[in-house]
Amino acid sequence: MPLLSRTAARRTLLAVLGAGVLSTQWPSAEAADPTGLDDPGKKDIAMRLVSSAENSSLDWQAQYKYIEDIGDGRGYTGGIIGFCSGTSDMLALVELYTDRVSGNPLAGYLPALRAADGTDSHDGLDGFPAAWRKAAKTSAFRKAQRDERDRVYFGPAVGRAKKDGLGTLGQFVYYDAMVMHGPGTDALSFGGIRARARRHAATPTDGGGEKTYLNAFLDARVWAMRQEAAHSDVSRVETAQRVFLKAGNLDLDTPLKWKVYGDGYEID
């Protein structure tokens, strides 16, 4: 199957991260200012919302051991944020884990992961899912997953949202889009979705209304999702994020009720 646009986008950001120039591409979240999704409670809500869409469960911490090939052209998908063997971020995760813990259960698969990057190949990955689940029993691998999630997705998304003048809901909307579509500037990546939205509405920083802009962003994201067969179900936007926006819940306050793929969820 052809690999979707997330691959090139992730490679671009990972290269930027490796060069140590993240701040010139995506502003990072300000840890010293625990507002919005920087607040631990709000961040946990964001993780549960993403998990409802990615894993059909609110228990995001149960997903460290998750791994399977879901047939979307990205090879193996695993962990708390859906790291993929075909889109560079799973490779980067295993490299980080191996830097920290040599001789871990996944270290021997690094050559195969490098060869598989950019494809959906399983060549050389016999036994990899079992090794992943074994690694997920260790605190070191779980921490590596959290660190890569924050470095590649959460920090950049929240930082960009703050620069655009968005509150907690807007920060989550950006984060969920970054997780699914990856960073980058092509039409189907986060940067392209944001650019499309800004052609229709100004960000709050640029003088626009927050609800108006977020509706434009969600419209742009729905358009992008419908360009890819694997993302054609847009319920994570229309029966979740759009529901919160229509209710005016810009702070993502509980209680929250939403549906994804027809399944109902609630956070009291």
Series of mean pLDDT values for 10-residue runs along the chain (268 residues)? 45 43 42 78 98 95 96 93 94 98 97 97 97 98 98 97 98 96 92 98 98 98 91 93 98 97 96
Which residue out of 38, 54, 69, 148 is catalytically annotated?
54
Q: Percent of the chain, pLDDT > 70? A: 88
pLDDT of residue 253: 97
Q: Is 147 part of the annotated catalytic residue set?
A: no
Q: Is 38 helix (H, G, I), strand (E, B) or coil?
A: helix
Q: Is 30 part of the annotated catalytic residue set?
A: no
pLDDT of residue 184: 85
pLDDT of residue 159: 97
CA distance 253 to 268: 9
Q: pLDDT digits over 17-35, tens only?
A: 443 333 334 444 444 457 8
Could you count the other beta carbons within 10 Å of the beta carbon of residue 131?
A: 19
pLDDT of residue 35: 85
pLDDT of residue 5: 46
CA distance 47 to 218: 19
pLDDT of residue 232: 84
β partners of residue 170: none
The two beta strands, 76-78 and 83-84, are antiparallel
Predicted TM-score (pTM) of this structure: 0.86
Domains, the chain, in order of start with CATH, read: 6-262 (1.20.141.10)
pLDDT of residue 21: 37
CA atoms within 13 A on the CB side of 139: 0
The dihedrals phi and psi of 266, each to the nearest 5 degrees, come to -150, 140
pLDDT of residue 139: 98
pLDDT of residue 1: 34
Which residue out of 39, 44, 69, 72 is catalytically annotated?
72
Please say whether the beta carbons of 146 and 80 come within 8 A: yes
Please say whether the beta carbons of 52 and 260 come within 8 A: yes
CA distance 204 to 165: 5
pLDDT of residue 230: 75
Q: pLDDT digits over 203-244, tens only?
A: 999 999 999 999 999 999 999 999 987 778 999 999 999 999
pLDDT of residue 17: 42
